[in-house]
Amino acid sequence: MMKAVRMLAKGMAKQNRGRAIVLAAAVALGILVLSTVFGISAGKVEAEELREIRANRTCAVTTLARATVEQYWKIKSLPYIQAVGRKYGAGSTLIYDAAGARDGDDGEALSCVFTCLDKTAWEEMTTPAYTGIEGHYPQEEGEIMLSIRALAALGMERPQMGQAISLKIQLGPFMEIEETFTLCGWFTDYVDLSAFPLQGYVSEAQVQKWGKSLDEPDELLIVQNDTLDAYELEERLNQDVTMRDKSQSFVTNDTFRSRAVNGLAGGYEMAALCGALILLCVFLLVYNVLRISMQKEVRQIGLLDTLGTTQKQIRRIYQCQIGRIVAVGGVIGVGASAMVGMVVLPYVVGGMYLYHYGQRTELTVWRPGLVVAAACFTALVVEWATYLIIRKATRLTPLEAMRYQGEARRGGKLKRHGGKSGRHVGTKVIRRGSRQYVFHMAWRNLWRERRKFLLTAFSLFLGVVTVLVAEIIVRGTDYANVIEAEPDFAIGIECKNDGMEIPYVYEEYAPIREELKGRILSLEGVKADSVEALYGAFVIVDYAQEAFWPRNDALLSDGDYENALWRTYRKPEGEEGEPGFPDPAVVQIVDDDYLDKLERYVQENGLTADVDAVRRGEGVLFLHEGAWSEELREEADAQCGINVTFWNFLTKTEEEWHKRASMSVKAIQEQESNGIWSAYPLAGESHVSAYLDTRAKGFPQVETLSYDMVLPYFLISERGFEKLNVEKKMLSCQFDVEESYEEAAKAGIKEMIRAENEENASRVQDKKYGIDTLPNLFVRCKSDVLAEEQSYIRTNRSLFSFLGAALLLMGVMNYANVMVTGLFARRRELNTLERVGMTARQIRAMVTWEGAMYCGIVGALVLGVGNGMFYLVRWYMEQNVPHFWFYYPWDGMAVVFLLLAVVCAGVPRACFWGRKRDEKKMGANV
């Protein structure tokens, strides 16, 4: 029996070489497109994720400070948690940068922190952030592992394994020890040292030696499933894990992978949808090729059935043939994928994704697993399409199959026209000119095989719409949008080293003085009406006030012991205790529009907030971005309306006087004038109208200075600010400049900022008596950022263009296959038409019209259904990607339609010419 099957399969394969070539090409193209599309996407996601991991030194984005052993095991057992690691803080040291030191200078003091990690935290969560890891993670007491940059700062350009390193380690605010370590390894890290300290690792034994218990890590590092967003994760963790006290809470974030996926396609749902669209395109292509090519074989199947071939045997015959085609197409596809993945794409993407964060070779586009999956999927699609078609053929009786004439609708009724009495029964004769008749015939030709027509049009539509949707997503999520959304210039203050906390300033200090603003605005080309500024003031507050208690507790939860020890103690409840220390805070003015938005947000989310009090000038909004436990939030809500007092900073003279005064003099003064607070001029009081988490879902965005959970940040209305006895200052500003003046303005502004920073530095020259340093002003120029990121943006775009082209190619191939095979099958009919008097020109016009109708229906579908899809994508992306910018794909549409028109009309014409040429050749031979 198998002999017969093989014999038939072989014979048919020999006879259907054309189909085999088209099908093998479809299979190869399917594998190539699938593996390339998903390879690029996965590569991009992986690279973006790696960038983030490298920029943050870990892949763990969720943490829990002061976790207990029970909490550790509980979290470890949760099904939505991938990994849990333990981290112990093991002190820090100051390293004077030997690499950057000049003659007679110690070099800049760089902070270096030491951490101890367990196996999971090191191997699974930290090593991906580093490259060039040499040696081993510290195991023994006295072993140390340092970053290459830390070693360089220590003057060890060529470190040796086992080298002794002597360091003074700060174990706490009052505890410093000197220890000699043995270097057991090093690594290359990529964090921004202006925001992160240098990093070193010590062993658990070392941590134990320094008196820390391994049972209670400073922090649990948690990696959750990628599909779980930060809000959902926090909710589930809070449900599943019991907190040790009210100040303990999880700090949750979306995983870097999920952020990368969001950045690529807006989320897993959209990525899945795009994936499904691509798979559907491949399916339609393969299915259509098979379906069309198999049509004429239905009769053959009928004959075989008549001769006694069972359905199983028929299936085997075709499976043998298709299997061979899939094998050939598969080899070609896998080869082409390997070629593109290993040679072409790395060349195209260049040094894109890990730009600034490691070597380019680490971007993997060629993924054998993915190619195998693509090949398997394509083979499955072919198998499925073959099954559907053979099933259809074998469902017919042998007789029906042998008489099969294609999928034209059979048994259609003639329309009756005539009077009610039916006296004039017959078909209506419609008079048409020859052109209309040709048009009519073209339509009839398509409509008689409407299923093929609609399926092909749908396949083309899918190809076109996928390309356009890809364009919308790519352009909408383009990193350039993030930059473009910014103003041309932004001027603000820069905080050194810790990067976040605002240091102490003089009362007369203003980040952007009015005089500076005036000079900037007077520059040629600066658009005065585009200036947007943040106004407010730096103030002094007493963290011991009740208004700060939730924030103080949250700091404890964060494990920021230094701040907890120095700044977060409470007055004993119900007692008038000693005041705390004068600490800085920011009060920023917001307008009524923002307050309206905030009010809507508060109402929609059922939050406790008296926004109206803020509007009336009687309250302030306490912002925080640290994760507060549910209990803390409730406590904070309960104390809404509580008083908060603001003081002004001291003037430069006052500050210096205080520093100069001896402790005894100060002590006398403090006693005489009710403590140190008497020195600070009272600015006024207000009520805390709400404690608001700026990271909460849907929180209306507000431009602020960068701050962390240590620095209290208040929003206040203009009216409320006026009630305070504080001078209003410009905290930051941003503005646009006319394009032609941009370069000149940039040079001018940079010079002004440099001069201003120098002046600020000179104001604190006498560091011994006064404030150590004043914040530096920075200017951020959009054009500089764009230029810096240009290579990244360009490569990103070119990759997506590549994807779009591949998808469109599949649609076009589908169409070309339909037209070519269709015209080939109809050659007898076309000859007959010619014999009965249809001119070659009319036939050419007819087939061109057929192509044009495909173009028309695809156009109509794109403008109708496609438009709906575009807006659906827009809605989805806007919900998920904050920087998404919707562009209606006019230009893409124009290009695609033009291409479509050329292909739709061109393919049938080309086929027609081919037919005429063949006929001529045959004629010549005769």
Contact residues: other proteins, CB under 8 A: 1, 3-4, 7-8, 11-12, 14-15, 300, 303-313, 397-399, 402, 411, 413
- Secondary structure of 540-558 in HEC code, one letter for each residue: EEECCCHHHHHHHHHHHHH
4 or 667: CB nearest other proteins? 4
Q: How far is the CB of 17 from other proteins (least distance, A)?
A: 11
Residues contacting 223, CB < 8 A, separation 6+: 59, 60, 61, 62, 81, 82, 83, 84, 124, 125, 255
194 or 310: CB nearest other proteins? 310
247 or 293: CB nearest other proteins? 293
DSSP string, 516-537: HHHHHHTSTTB-GGG-EEEEEE
Q: Could you give the 3-state DSSP secondary structure of residue 402?
A: helix
CA pair distance 262, 260, nearest whole angstrom? 5
10 or 658: CB nearest other proteins? 10
CA pair distance 714, 688, nearest whole angstrom? 9
Residues contacting 773, CB < 8 A, separation 6+: 496, 503, 761, 764, 767
396 or 785: CB nearest other proteins? 396
The residues that bridge with 538 in the sheet, in sequence order, are 586
Q: How far is the CB of 429 from other proteins (least distance, A)?
A: 23
Measure the CA angle with vertex 190, ends 185 and 195; round to 5°. 115
136 or 409: CB nearest other proteins? 409
Q: How far is the CB of 299 from other proteins (least distance, A)?
A: 9
Q: How far is the CB of 385 from other proteins (least distance, A)?
A: 21
408 or 521: CB nearest other proteins? 408
Helix (H) or strand (E) holding 729: strand 729-735
391 or 917: CB nearest other proteins? 391
Residue among 585, 602, 586, 606 nearest 594 (CA): 602
Taking the alpha carbons at both ends of the chain, their separation in whole angstroms is 43
Q: How far is the CB of 20 from other proteins (least distance, A)?
A: 13
Q: How far is the CB of 294 from other proteins (least distance, A)?
A: 14
77 or 310: CB nearest other proteins? 310
Q: How far is the CB of 424 from other proteins (least distance, A)?
A: 20
300 or 563: CB nearest other proteins? 300
For CA atoms 496, 497, 500, 505, give the dihedral sign: negative
312 or 767: CB nearest other proteins? 312
- Secondary structure of 863-888 in HEC code, one letter for each residue: HHHHHHHHHHHHHHHHHHCCCCCCCC
- Which amino acid, 650? L
Q: Could you give the 3-state DSSP secondary structure of residue 113?
A: strand
193 or 402: CB nearest other proteins? 402
DSSP string, 469-518: HHHHHHHHH-HHHHHHTS-SEEEEEE--TTSSS-----TT--SB-HHHHH
316 or 624: CB nearest other proteins? 316
Q: How far is the CB of 841 from other proteins (least distance, A)?
A: 34
299 or 844: CB nearest other proteins? 299
Dihedral over alpha carbons 500, 502, 503, 508 (to 10 degrees): 160
Q: Could you give the 3-state DSSP secondary structure of residue 301?
A: helix
306 or 879: CB nearest other proteins? 306
Radius of gyration of the chain (CA): 37
Helices 17-56 and 2-15 cross at an angle (nearest 10°) of: 90
Q: How far is the CB of 815 from other proteins (least distance, A)?
A: 29
Helices 297-306 and 368-395 cross at an angle (nearest 10°) of: 60
Give residue for tokens 């120098």: 758
Long-range contacts of 349-353 (CB under 8 A, 24+ apart): 349/43, 349/795, 349/799, 350/791, 350/795, 351/791, 352/47, 352/791, 352/792, 352/795, 352/796, 353/43, 353/44, 353/47, 353/48, 353/50, 353/51, 353/792
Burial of 424 (0-12, 13-18, 19+ CB in 10 A): exposed
CA pair distance 91, 178, nearest whole angstrom? 12
Q: How far is the CB of 237 from other proteins (least distance, A)?
A: 59
Q: How far is the CB of 402 from other proteins (least distance, A)?
A: 8
Q: How far is the CB of 15 from other proteins (least distance, A)?
A: 4
Residues contacting 199, CB < 8 A, separation 6+: 57, 112, 113, 115, 146, 147, 150, 189, 191
Q: How far is the CB of 286 from other proteins (least distance, A)?
A: 23
The count of other CB atoms within 10 Å of the CB of residue 438 is 22
118 or 305: CB nearest other proteins? 305
Q: How far is the CB of 3 from other proteins (least distance, A)?
A: 5
CA pair distance 590, 532, nearest whole angstrom? 12
Q: How far is the CB of 825 from other proteins (least distance, A)?
A: 16
Q: How far is the CB of 13 from other proteins (least distance, A)?
A: 8
Helices 450-477 and 434-448 cross at an angle (nearest 10°) of: 90
Q: Which two tokens stand for residue 229?
A: 């967003």
Q: Could you give the 3-state DSSP secondary structure of residue 135?
A: strand
